[in-house]
Amino acid sequence: MRIGSVPRHLLIAGLAATMAAIALPRGAAQTPERGRSVAITLDDGPVVNELKDLANFQRIAGRLREALVAEKVPATIFINERQLNVQGQRDGRAEVLAQWLDAGYDLGNHTYSHPSLNKIPLWQFEDDLIRGEVVMRSLLEERGRKLVWFRYPFLDSGPDAQVHQAFVDFLEQRHYRVAHITVDYKDYSFAGVYLRLLRAGNTEVAEKVKQAYLDQVDRGFEHAEKASAEVFGYELPQILLIHCNELNSVTLRESIDRMRQRGYRFVTLEEATKDPAYLRPDTFAGDGGSWLERSARAMGKQITAPQPRMPKWITDLPRAGR
Ligand SMILES: [Zn+2]
């Protein structure tokens, strides 16, 4: 077709129709008008690995919250209440949870001390979960809200089908819903290197790691978009897993901008999980992992889209210099 021979408005209408046909896969529940959406979740809250310095704990949590508020983006923060249990700092640390709630955010249970269900007995894991909801539950209830979400530490959902099912039943009795994930670009690997560089005073390389991390946001979403199409035949509402760390506290607004540029709008976990892709029963499917990987295994499908890798120059950085 010669572009010059077709009236412009017809051409645009034709292009739009073609793109709609491409975007709408066989049997898709998602219409092109709905477009891409993502629910942001932050794990290991309020702040991972800051069990000493209250001011630093408050600073990092505050920055994460301010970034989301400024971008007007919903999020669910998964808490390990062990982090609140620091002598002389308990009130100051619990206050951070109240601040999240009062800013309109949701909190979920990520157990008290972050054990793996694949490595400790079920009863011990269940005790840890219950211990992990004490402060959060009362703060939520004071505000007329309910504790709904649970996330598996390490995404480990049990060593075998029997333990998995027993735990799923336990969650149901306690009215929890499992928050699955679909986008995971291993932010913690970048965050660890970034923090070591900052502490070593190597701000120049730290800045480069930060930029590489922002590029990884795109790689991570690319992977999830392709993998969702492979497993479900369309792009489901994604659920992003990142962590409450220093690196995200300084990059979250830019990360959100990357997502916006990919066409994402931001939704709550509640809204994302209305998609039929999340209604498949949560059967045991091996070593945990993302909902895309778990679903692929359960459905006997293969994900061929390659996982994003950490740039080699970062993994090659000398350990001491990091
Ligand atoms: Zn975690």
The confidence score (pLDDT) of residue 15 equals: 41
pLDDT tens-digit readout, 27-42:
444 444 579 999 999 9
Q: How far is the CA of 115 from the centre of ligand 1 (A)?
A: 9
- Tokens describing residue 216: 């990884």
Average pLDDT, the chain: 90
- Torsion angle, CA of 271/273/279/285, rounded to 10 degrees? 180
Q: How far is the CA of 126 from the centre of ligand 1 (A)?
A: 16
186-201 residues labelled b (16+ CB within 10 A) or e (exposed): bbbebbebbbbbbeee
pLDDT tens-digit readout, 260-311:
999 999 999 999 999 999 998 999 988 879 999 999 999 999 999 999 999 9
Q: Where are the domains of the chain?
A: 36-315
pLDDT tens-digit readout, 211-234:
999 999 999 999 999 999 999 999
Q: Cα separations (Å) of 77 from 47, 158, 184, 251? A: 10, 22, 15, 17
pLDDT tens-digit readout, 102-115:
999 999 999 999 99
Q: How far is the CA of 153 from the centre of ligand 1 (A)?
A: 5
Q: How far is the CA of 110 from the centre of ligand 1 (A)?
A: 7
Q: How far is the CA of 40 from the centre of ligand 1 (A)?
A: 14
The confidence score (pLDDT) of residue 33 equals: 53
Q: How far is CA 7 from the centre of its chain?
A: 45
Q: How far is the CA of 48 from the centre of ligand 1 (A)?
A: 9
Q: How far is the CA of 152 from the centre of ligand 1 (A)?
A: 7
The confidence score (pLDDT) of residue 316 equals: 92
C-alpha 171/C-alpha 158 separation (Å) is 13
The confidence score (pLDDT) of residue 286 equals: 84
- Torsion angle, CA of 191/194/200/205, rounded to 10 degrees? 170
Q: How far is the CA of 113 from the centre of ligand 1 (A)?
A: 9
- Sorting pLDDT into bands at 50, 70 and 90, what band is 259? very high
The confidence score (pLDDT) of residue 287 equals: 81
Just give the CATH number of 36-315: 3.20.20.370
What SS3 class is residue 21? helix
Q: Cα separations (Å) of 183 from 77, 124, 179, 226? A: 16, 29, 12, 11
17-31, 33-47, 79-93, 282-296: which range is least confident on average?
A: 17-31
Q: How far is the CA of 109 from the centre of ligand 1 (A)?
A: 10
Question: Is the model's pLDDT at 127 over the cut of 90?
Answer: yes
With vertex at residue 178, the alpha carbon angle to CA 72 and CA 86, rounded to the nearest 5 degrees, is 75
CB 229 within 8 A of CB 177: no
Q: How far is the CA of 242 from the centre of ligand 1 (A)?
A: 9
Q: How far is the CA of 65 from the centre of ligand 1 (A)?
A: 18
Question: Is the model's pLDDT at 197 over the cut of 90?
Answer: yes
Phi-psi bin for 191: left (phi > 0), alpha (psi -120 to 50), beta? Answer: alpha
